[in-house]
Amino acid sequence: MTTIWVYAEVGPEGPAGSALELLTRARTLADEVAAVALGPGATVAAGALGGHGAATVYASDEPVYAKVVGRAAAHALGELARRHAPEMIWFPTSHEGRDVAGRLQAITGSTLMSNASDVLSPDRAVTQIYGDTQVVEVALEGPDPKLVLVRPKSFVAEPSGGAASIVPVEVPVPEELRWPRRIERHEEAASGPKLEDARVVISGGRGLQDPSNFALLDRLADAIGGAAVGATRAVVDAGWVPYSQQVGQTGKTVKPEVYVAIGISGATQHVVGMKGSRRILAINKDPQAPIFGLADLGVVGDALALVPQLIEEIERRGGTG
Amino acid sequence: MDVVVLVKYVPDPAGTPKIGEDLLVQREGTDGTLDPGDEYAVEAGLQAVEAHGGEVTLVSMGPEIAMGAIRKGLSMGAHQGVLVTDPALRGADALATARVLAATIGRRPFDLVLTGAESTDGYTGTLPMAVAELLGVPALTFARRIHLEGDGVRIERQTDLGYDVLEGPLPALVSVTGSAAEPRYATLKGIMASKTKPVEQLALADLGLSPGDVAPTQHVRSVSPAAVKGPGEIVEGDEALARIVGFLAEAKVI
């Protein structure tokens, strides 16, 4: 009998979409699927988790799990895994997923695979490397539970119609493990649609040359309507735009109808966050830029000259809104 | 303040890494460098000791050639290095690497361990947390700002929507993103000085670890090319604008 657990990120607003995606896939592989939800919102989230394939939800609404980043959850998960011995635990490839899984690996002494694009069986998983040009199948060995961090949007969440039984998590978290503590949260005000939800994503890279030119992308997004603006890690690191706009391995994964890459060379870091887009348009001066390898339409030219003309043309036609 | 910075030697990020017949990334005989993500950690370490005194020790695991990463960090201003090299570490996975690095760090007292958020070649991104767990210290991860105050550390952690402020007592581990500190360039003087700075070389046995402690728990079964849809249409010059408009209209987004 195969048991797979999914580590579900939860908050007052409900479970993360990643948890529902992972449960959808897990129920095709395992005889028994459970979710572990820790922190405020956990018990309420059990409804949606059960509705996507979790037969059991190990839940605790204790604030300590939200307050203490990674460490409290890893401690509790380690204790639960010791008691119930699942074959695998899946995590989303997110900051929190990495915090918990990385610590848990050192507690359980088990294998950990990051950035998986699929799991084939309790001892076999798949990832893609080098800008997703190569598919790598990996055998997972050593003691259970095998830990796998799965990339966002690797699966499409589908309801199972099931319901979960809730098992309260009662694992004391020792005082000395209650660090680091989250003492403030700051949300940077964003306008327009969310990157992950937008039908059109327009992203800029170093090729835009100057942070002030990013305003062109905002104007293009306005002209198209319903479009969000993203960026590469290089320009986020350079401080041009906030991290919340980063698309790529360490940022967001997007799969819009149309992805417009402007002044982006196509580094692996970026490509893995956008290659699942339905249609890709790339504008770059350098005809050798790797981004052209995956663009449906590649435009070799100066974006700083082309984009203003494009905005004018779209406005002249009248957007669909 | 005793600061340890973990550094990794990676294949040149601008090139395409080669995979050997054993399905492992070839690290020898290829151009490599200090992982650019680690340069931010080195810079953050240098700033910490400039403000609070103390020394920066670089710790790396890798083949002999990984000395290049340590020398680069020393040329930026770090004080000394430790390189762990052992044939048993070939193909080491994240857990084995964490065990080796934690054992190396744990030989001496330390206040702060700094790392990049993830490596530029592997992108696993869980090593800092595993090292922190093995050392029994808090991990303050994905830092875009670091403030050291008294016997504690406070960071701004990047989040999807902005940032969180985290705090914890020292000793602690902090992983930094590219926004944390702009790495300084090595000066000629720094490069010359790096050649005489001490670098200790250790093998697994020196750390009290056996090959069994670092045996890989993952094996690559196969590497195959991904299905590609092939390059699409390429346009340039005067026809570009009309073609872009046509493309967006076909997708029904304008």
pLDDT tens per residue, range B59-114: 999 999 999 999 999 999 999 999 999 999 998 999 999 999 999 999 999 999 99
CB B146 within 8 A of CB A117: no
Smallest Cβ distance to B236: which of A69, A180, A301? A301
For chain B, which ranges sit under pLDDT 50? Answer: none
Average pLDDT for A126-130: 85
Residue B27's pLDDT is what?
65
Residue A321's pLDDT is what?
44
Tokens (6 digits) for A196: 């992950």
Mutate to test the interface with B, among A127, A128, A138, A272 (most CBs of B within 10 A): A138
The fraction of chain B above a pLDDT of 90, given in percent, is 77
CB B200 within 8 A of CB B81: yes
- Residue A103 to residue B130, Cβ atoms within 8 A: yes
Residue A13's pLDDT is what?
87
- Residue A128 to residue B226, Cβ atoms within 8 A: yes
- Residue B243 to residue A299, Cβ atoms within 8 A: yes
Which positions in chain B touch A292 (Cβ < 8 Å)? 231, 234
CB A192 within 8 A of CB A228: yes
A82 vs B178, residue with greater confidence: A82
- Residue A257 to residue B253, Cβ atoms within 8 A: yes
Give the B window 58-117 contacts with A, CB below 8 Å. 93-95, 98, 117
Closest CA of chain A from B187, distance in Å: 22
Residue B16's pLDDT is what?
62
Smallest Cβ distance to B161: which of A236, A244, A300? A244
Nearest CA in chain A to B125: A98
| Interface size between A and B, measured as CB pairs under 8 A | 258
Query: Confidence class of residue A42 from pLDDT cuts 50, 70 and 90?
Result: very high
Give the B window 14-43 contacts with A, CB below 8 Å. 16-17, 19
- Residue A135 to residue B123, Cβ atoms within 8 A: no
Which positions in chain A touch B132 (Cβ < 8 Å)? 103
Cα distance between residue A28 and residue A38, in whole Å? 24
Mutate to test the interface with B, among A146, A176, A297 (most CBs of B within 10 A): A297
CB B112 within 8 A of CB B80: no
Average pLDDT for A130-147: 90
- Residue B133 to residue A107, Cβ atoms within 8 A: yes
- What was the ipTM of the complex prediction? 0.91
Smallest Cβ distance to B178: which of A133, A179, A237? A237
Nearest to A275 by CA among A150, A113, A117, A95: A117
Which positions in chain B touch A279 (Cβ < 8 Å)? 247, 251
Query: Does residue B78 sit in helix, strand or coil?
Result: coil
Fill in the DSSP letter of residue B182: P
Residue A58's pLDDT is what?
98
- Residue B132 to residue A199, Cβ atoms within 8 A: no
Closest CA of chain A from B197, distance in Å: 31
Tokens (6 digits) for B23: 């399905």
Nearest CA in chain B to A185: B164
A130 vs A234, residue with greater confidence: A234
Burial class (CB in 10 A: 0-12, 13-18, 19+), B233: exposed
Residue B10's pLDDT is what?
87
Cα distance between residue B207 and residue B188, in whole Å? 35
Residue A174's pLDDT is what?
97
- Residue B254 to residue A136, Cβ atoms within 8 A: no
Is B217 touching A (CB cutoff 8 A)?
A: yes
Burial B25-47 (b: 16+ CB within 10 A, else e): bebeeeebbbbebbbbbbbbbbb
- Residue A111 to residue B220, Cβ atoms within 8 A: no
Which positions in chain A touch B120 (Cβ < 8 Å)? 269
Which positions in chain A touch B123 (Cβ < 8 Å)? 114-115, 249-250
What's the mean pLDDT when you consider all of chain A?
A: 94
- Residue A106 to residue B134, Cβ atoms within 8 A: yes
Closest CA of chain B from A48, distance in Å: 22
- Residue B140 to residue A236, Cβ atoms within 8 A: no
Which positions in chain A touch B95 (Cβ < 8 Å)? 105-106, 109-112
Smallest Cβ distance to A139: which of B122, B160, B219? B219
Nearest CA in chain A to B152: A180
**Percent helix, strand, coil in chain B (nearest 5)?**
35, 30, 35
CB A180 within 8 A of CB B172: yes
- Residue A320 to residue B141, Cβ atoms within 8 A: no
E-only strand ranges, A176-296: 181-187, 200-204, 227-231, 258-262, 279-284
Cα distance between residue A227 and residue A217, in whole Å? 10
Least confident of A191-200, A294-303, B188-197: A191-200
Residue B142's pLDDT is what?
95
